[in-house]
Structure 1
């Protein structure tokens, strides 16, 4: 017996030593403060005169990044920007006139204008309160801005300041004077007898009130918002209308997240969200008619299909579904340049509909121009979410609007004539469009697309009415382009699969060469030969082609075991050819591959970058096709990479942790071991905005929640499971894994462990936490997949 134990100990020790010697990487090395990798540019912007590129950088290895600049005429010199120069830089927010010769903006709560030709800044107004959202109107001698939740105009020629609205919070105050006590009445009368001026003022005030009552002269109009919060005040370009939103907040019970390590020494409850299915805020849009001095609401009850029920109701035949006007969220409006027309983007609370509607500014009535219905949920690049963010606006003809839609199955750019109703699709194909914007002369589009493949991004130029797209970038990977104000140059933040982000400069021409401006990799980081993962496609159970990144060890190192990585967020892309936001995991995959593991990183169903059908493939069943894609990936490894079917592990964080749990609970014959990090265990306990899109609401669609939540399938655990979670996680609450742990205890499950991280939120910060977590993951795989 002693001899067997000794031989087993020697075998394990030999195994650990063997694999420790196969890589120059270690968990401790790759999970240390990322500053060891070098410094890489972020937050790129241009100076107002197209001479300097500004970006965050940290070559000195300070506790945080600082602002640096490169002058395009002296490209070899990277200069740190001191605080004096920073204070003089034009704020990124603000508005240009059409000729881009003037810019208005706020600084230190005051209103400024900058003359780009003369390079001269002038302070226009200081009103003792924050001035917000300055804009040029159609008459560019006029500006609008918001102050204390009211709209104003300012005439640049005359200096006249005009208040357009009179909006107040709370209810209308009664004007009747409250009755005074005997003591207060005596003091008032004594004061009036002693002070003649005060008595005369009091008499004049009373006479004025009596005259108004006699003549019927109305008081100045005031709109009282009551308990509703006013936001998004927008002045029409002709200054005839001011639109604003009113939001009525609902009181929902928040989930407390205790912080046991607060500096005070006491347990402190952190502010946290409510759970999916709670009452949602009501959002209205109102119009302040300046000429009529009155307010009326935008009317949404006539939108086509406003009472339509979702298809899933047929799964609940015993429930009575009442047809009624659905709650909606209006955003915008988007005004034509002359201010005479406006469109509104309206989304339904149940996530099934999006209307683009013409707004009658005189009445508040809406006329639908385009309805987009999705029985799953409305989303996609440029389509926006509840409170805006959509690609939308007008062409200079004051008749044509532009927007993005998934009508074709992919998010593309469209034009629509608001007078004829004619719609034109400007881009088309099995790819997506990102962040389109008009050129200064409004004759062209600049846009980023995945036209050359979902794993790459390029920047293009296209005629405003459609036509051939001219590709302006050439480097394979991701090209994040920041166009100079004069549109002559592109600052490009570029990366490739195994090359972190660097800054490049290129003339805005297809034929020009991109010049690299930064080179931030440390010597230690660049000394390792980081892998360029192979981009592959494998077949899913339903015949779909699933994209993935594959890491293959050398024949000498290969150990027959495999690890599948599941990215988080659900709607996110990671099987691409640029530097991953999961850079720690990427380095960990290099370590695993050095140790002989084959690693597969899958863009499963629900991932971004592959169009509407891929995005909605998880509707009403998370843990369905997104999980079967992981199983198909495992089968691919067995059939094509000579992987032992008894030695496959899986891991991931957040949504990836959720999939890992579902894999370990429902596919035990496929996955021997798994590490579930910061994982959702019961979707009924996650937030509303994300979850209700995919699973509807628990009270209305309990079927979707029950088949999508791992806690209901915990009895299926057969393999080896590591659960890791931050205790101060305000996104996926620690309560999730506490409830699951109790369930596993009650089920008598043995081969699982829970690692807690007392000081960590959803995204870990401390290198010690990262190191401890990934040390546990590596030990799990080494100890269970290599035996």
Structure 2
């Protein structure tokens, strides 16, 4: 009797385990957060270098806290502030310390403007006396403590203000700000989107001067979008948007003197009249400001040192490139005002050390690999900390190196993607590691040796949960296409059978300097690819020419011809994959979003003998419709390069469409305007081409909110099944293909 019972239990467990491992991912699970990961939010290293703070949210009470933890023990030391103790604040979503860490700026009631910009109510909490101060009655932008902690500067209604925290007095330091005309200290739309920053003002070290950029948008053409909302009549969102070749905002640099309450414009002796100021930064000398000036083509970048007392400028560094120069935040001034800089001038992105006058001291890093993040410099050990691709372009590791370029150390050991957050004194770093097979894990490591000290947080529960599902390994390899070995990943069905043939579905983004083939953990789309693999598709991603982290030549080969070489690579890769015995070459599809939508459209039209279908989400259909900074960086202007714009724009190749095409866009897309899709639709209609399309009312470039993402991915999944999956229940065998040919 006992033997029978044990056999029954064993069979039951075996059956249950087998059943559990066959559980299939659903679209509802993906978009309703079933695979949500554990994270560390708003991590900040305290000045003492021995502690760090994080933002914690209590779901039960709906309150937030800023909590301090000890690096060595990882134990909570104290709570600095809790929204439960502040009557005016239900919860806050972000926090910023004053330099001495006695005051905390708390962000509440925050609403988005564009991708990076927000408006919000901000409070200052004083940790010494528990006093709470409201910075302004209105919703404001980018409030920033002065280094001495006595003042806060912020933007409101296109002007700059300074609040004195001791007297409570607020001073308006600019007065000419006007919507769609003049902006002071806050970037315009195109700077925010393409140069990646919003706050265009900076305090000096002595807290007595503020440098700011002024944007005169008067002559920039306006773009308008209908906002349908819920009312009887729609409204319009009208904003300045410089398209390629059109007028940009005229920018100027100004320095405000807090004591005299006066501003002065800074002028430098530039060789070009139409320019950008993509970065400003004070040096350690409170009277010397650095500023990047860049020509409109973005292939010349000058670093100027400006004396704020005499209002004179000296050119410290000038770089040129045959294609373009990337703007970064890596400029770091050392105590002697020598500075660290990153550049691609030797063909790969590396770290350089210059003296305060701009004379090269030495190139710190060298090799056929890229520095991908600069973390900082420790003046005690004279070491620079950075992230690079030295262990392969799809991987990331953290390194340290002496300022003189010697004694390089690899501080991370696991192959995959490693990202570091260093303590203020560079004694520790919190490493975030993930790979295609390992969800993010957070560990405390020694900055000197990289050795593991303690595990902080992991996603083991997610790993265990995924064991119940029928998932497939993401296989990394390279594919030789058009003379290059291109990085590729492939996901096959879990029950993959080499004797059968499967439809192939390709994803790519392909934009300049981007990377989609990376050894890191799943995004939401990766779960979607697993969902498709479960249904019997082979899913592939190939990073073609023009993508990043393989050197400047590989990245910049697409200059002046966006959509030519990248599309050629996707078409050729699809052909080569179609030759594999387990791929059905008659059922190959491709999809992409934004630049990827531009690419998938082109691939379907130009590769009409290869691709059976394509999905394009929020695509650029002609670079003439896109913004000046991004487009001209790679294409110059339409006036200078009309053939580059037109010969590779999918809108001009609609007559070649043979397969199935799904076009998707949000009407509230302030980035890639729905104009792109409307013009594509009209071209397709006039070419008498049938297609499908989906419009999401008032949705921006991300197309999300409420049930939107789930609806979108159901729409795309159904389209894939209809166009590629007609025979998926009974995959073709090699023998059946032969009999079809004979027949």
Quote the residue 2:236 is aligned against. 269
- Please, which of 424, 430, 454 is the counterpart of residue 362 of structure 2? 424
| Aligned counterparts of 2:63 and 2:481: Cα–Cα separation in 1 | 44
Q: What does residue 175 of structure 2 align with?
A: 169
After superposition, residues 178-217 of structure 1 pair within 5 angstroms as none
Residues 505 and 517 in structure 1, CA contact (< 8 A), matched pair in contact too: no
Given candidates 397, 405, 408, the residue that maps to 2:336 is: 397
> Shift in Å at residue 734 of structure 1?
2.7
Aligned position for 2:280: 332
> How far 1:510 moved relative to its partner?
2.1
* CA distance, structure 1, for counterparts of residue 278 and residue 517 of structure 2: 35
1:753 aligns with 2:692: yes
Contact 1:94 1:133 in 2 (8 A): no
- Structure 1 residues 615 and 68: CA distance shift in structure 2, 3 A: farther
| Pairing of 1:91-102 with structure 2 (within 5 A) | 92-96=95-99
2:352 matched residue in structure 1: 414
- Counterpart of 2:396 in structure 1 is 457
Residue 175 of structure 1 corresponds to which residue in structure 2?
none
Other-structure match for 1:83? 83
Deviations 1:350-392 (A, max 9, x none): 322111123244543433222222232221xxx33xxxxx211
2:515 maps to 1:573: yes
Counterpart contact for 1:551–1:593, Cα < 8 Å: yes
Query: In terms of mean alpha carbon deviation, does 695-704 or 633-642 score higher?
Result: 633-642
Q: Partner of 1:521: helix, strand, or coil?
A: helix
Partner of 1:191: none
Alpha-carbon offset, residue 610 of structure 1: 2.7
Match of residue 495 from structure 1: 434
1:777 paired with 2:720, answer yes
SS at 1:674 equivalent: strand
Partner of 1:545: 485
Cα 1:572–1:57, aligned 2, differ >3 Å: closer, same or farther? farther
Tell whether 2:27 aligns with 1:28.
yes
Note closer, same or farther for the CA distance 1:287–1:614 as it changes in structure 2 (3 Å cut). Answer: same
SS of residue paired to 2:721 = helix
Indicate if the aligned counterparts of 1:479 and 1:494 stay in contact, CA closer than 8 A: yes
1:621 positional shift: 1.5
Residue by residue over 1:166-198, the C-alpha shift from the partner in whole angstroms, topping out at 9 and shown as x without a partner, is 955249xxxxxxxxxxxxxxxxxxxxxxxxxxx
Cα distance in 1, alignment partners of residues 557 and 312 from structure 2: 36
- SS of equivalent to 2:440: strand
Select which of 289, 293, 299 maps to 1:346: 293
Aligned to 1:697: 637
| Cα displacement string for residues 235-276 of structure 1 (whole angstroms, at most 9, x for unaligned residues) | 54457765333221235444333344x222543434566343
TM-score (norm 1): 0.73
Alpha-carbon distance between aligned partners in 2 of 1:617 and 1:597, rounded to the nearest angstrom:
32
Name the CA distance, whole Å, in 2 between partners of 1:619 and 1:699: 16
Q: CA deviation at 1:347?
A: 1.6
The structural deviation recorded for 1:566 is: 1.3
Of 305, 308, 311, which residue of structure 2 is paired with 1:364? Answer: 311
TM-score, with structure 2 as normaliser: 0.77
**Residue 500 of structure 1 aligns to a residue in which SS?**
coil
Q: Write the mapping of 1:488-567 to structure 2, written as runs, cut at 5 A.
A: 488-508=427-447, 509-512=449-452, 515=455, 517-519=457-459, 520-521=461-462, 524-528=465-469, 530-541=471-482, 543-553=483-493, 554-555=496-497, 558-567=500-509
Whole-angstrom distance in 2 between the partners of 1:257 and 1:548: 38
Are the structure 2 counterparts of residues 484 and 283 from structure 1 closer, same or farther at C-alpha, using a change threshold of 3 Å? same
Task: Give the match for residue 679 of structure 1.
Answer: 619
Structure 1, residues 210-250: CA drift from partner, whole Å, max 9, x if none?
A: xxxxxxxxxxxxxxxx9663565545445776533322123
Q: Deviations over 1:686-714 (max 9, x none)?
A: 23332222222323432221023101010
Q: How many Å apart are 1:684 and its aligned residue?
A: 1.4
**Which of 228, 232, 257 in structure 1 is aligned with 2:225?**
257
Tell me if structure 1 keeps the 8 A contact 2:291–2:303. Answer: yes
CA distance in 2, matches of 1:55, 1:146: 24
- CA-CA distance at 1:622 after TM superposition: 1.8
C-alpha distance after superposition, 1:597-638 (max 9, x if no partner): 332201222323333223323222122111111123223313
Are 1:655 and 1:679, in contact at CA under 8 Å, matched by a contact in 2?
A: yes
Work out the CA distance in 2 between the residues paired with 1:475 and 1:439.
24
Q: CA 1:654–1:57 in structure 2 vs 1: closer, same or farther (change >3 Å)?
A: farther
Q: Which of 184, 190, 196 is 1:229 aligned to?
A: 184
Q: Is the 8 A contact 1:39 1:59 kept in 2?
A: no
Change (3 A) 1:103 1:378: farther
Aligned CA distance change for structure 1 residues 267 and 167 (closer, same or farther; 3 Å):
closer
- CA offset digits 1:652-685 (Å, max 9, x no partner): 2221111111011111122222222222222212
**CA distances 1:315-364 after superposition (whole Å, capped 9, x unpaired):** xxxxxxxxxx33342632432x2435443221223322111123244543
Unaligned runs of 5+ in 1: 1-21, 115-119, 172-225, 308-324, 385-389
Choose between structure 1 and 2: higher strand proportion: 2
Deviation at 1:395, TM superposition (A): 0.9
Name 1:663's counterpart in structure 2. 603
Q: Do the aligned partners of residues 433 and 684 (structure 1) sit closer, same or farther apart at CA in structure 2, a change above 3 Å counting?
A: same
| 2:101 is aligned with 1:134 | no
Secondary structure class of the residue paired with 2:414: coil
SS in 2 for 1:708: coil
Note if 1:737 corresponds to 2:677: yes
Kindly state the Cα deviation for residue 434 of structure 1 after the two structures are TM-superposed.
0.5
For residues 229 and 419 of structure 1, what CA distance do their matches in structure 2 show?
Answer: 30
C-alpha distance in structure 1 between counterparts of 2:68 and 2:204, whole Å: 37
- Name which of 35, 39, 42 aligns with 1:41: 39
1:629/1:462 CA distance change after superposition, 3 Å = same
Q: Contact 1:449–1:457 (CA<8 Å) still a contact in 2?
A: yes
Maintained 8 Å contact 2:63/2:84: no
Larger Rg: 1
Q: Which of 576, 593, 598 is matched with 2:538 structurally?
A: 598
Q: CA deviation at 1:441?
A: 4.4
* Alignment-derived partner of residue 9 in structure 1: none
The alpha-carbon distance between structure 1 residues 168 and 64, as it changes in their structure 2 partners (threshold 3 A), is closer
Q: CA deviation at 1:453?
A: 1.5
Aligned partner of 2:555 in structure 1 is 615
On the 8 A contact 1:30/1:587 being kept in 2, the answer is no
SS of 1:783's equivalent in the other structure is coil
CA displacement, residues 539-598 of structure 1 (integer Å, 9 cap, x when unaligned): 231x22211112244225742432221137554312111024xx2332232233344433
Equivalent-residue separation in structure 2 for 1:72 and 1:427 (angstroms): 30
Q: Structure 1 residues 402, 526: closer, same or farther in 2, change over 3 A? A: same
The answer (yes or no) to whether the contact 1:674–1:722 under 8 Å persists in 2 is: yes
| Per-residue CA distance 1:404-434 (angstroms, 9 max, x = gap) | 1111222222111134723421112222230
- Equivalent position to 2:250, from 282, 298, 313: 282
- 8 A contact 1:432–1:611 mirrored in 2: no
SS at match of 1:637: helix
Structure 2 contact 344–350 (Cα < 8 Å) conserved: yes
> Number of paired residues?
657
Q: Residues of 2 paired with 1:161 and 1:723: CA distance?
A: 54
Q: Match of 1:40, SS?
A: coil
Q: Which residue of 1 aligns with 2:115?
A: none
Match of 2:525 among 585, 592, 613: 585
1-structure distance, mates of 2:82, 2:259: 49
SS of the aligned residue for 2:439 comes to strand
Secondary structure (helix, strand or coil) at the match of 1:451 reads coil
Counterpart of 2:583 in structure 1 is 643
